Amino acid sequence: MKFFDLQIVTPEGTMYDGKALQLSVRAIDGSLSVLADHIPMVTALKKAPCRLYVDEKTIREGESCGGILSVEKGRVRLLCTSFVFK
């Protein structure tokens, strides 16, 4: 399995900065999942639950209060006004 670098950042600080296997979020056009080698993209996010697959055994669930998802050159950034892990 391939991993990618992920940052989840809010005005309060960095909520996550590390490797990830998959990130599932809800964009304004629908749900999407990001895997390693995903095509470059930028999209706006809705307030919705998120799922972070840290590895094959570890899943972290959270909620984003909207924001922007950026994917480029193997790096994924989730910039949101608030993010809470459950």
Q: Residue 1: which residues within 8 A CB-CB, separation 6 or more? A: 21, 55, 56
Calpha distance 83→32 (Å, rounded): 18
pLDDT attached to residue 1: 84
CATH 3.40.640.10 assigned to domain 4-85? The reply is no
pLDDT digits (tens, 9 = 90+) for 9-58: 999 999 999 999 999 999 999 999 999 999 999 999 999 999 999 999 99
Angle ∠(56,33,11) on CA atoms, nearest 5: 95
Calpha distance 66→36 (Å, rounded): 23
Length, in residues, of the chain: 86
pLDDT attached to residue 68: 97
In the predicted model, is pLDDT for residue 86 greater than 90? no
What is the token pair recorded at 17? 């900065």
For the chain, domain boundaries: 4-85
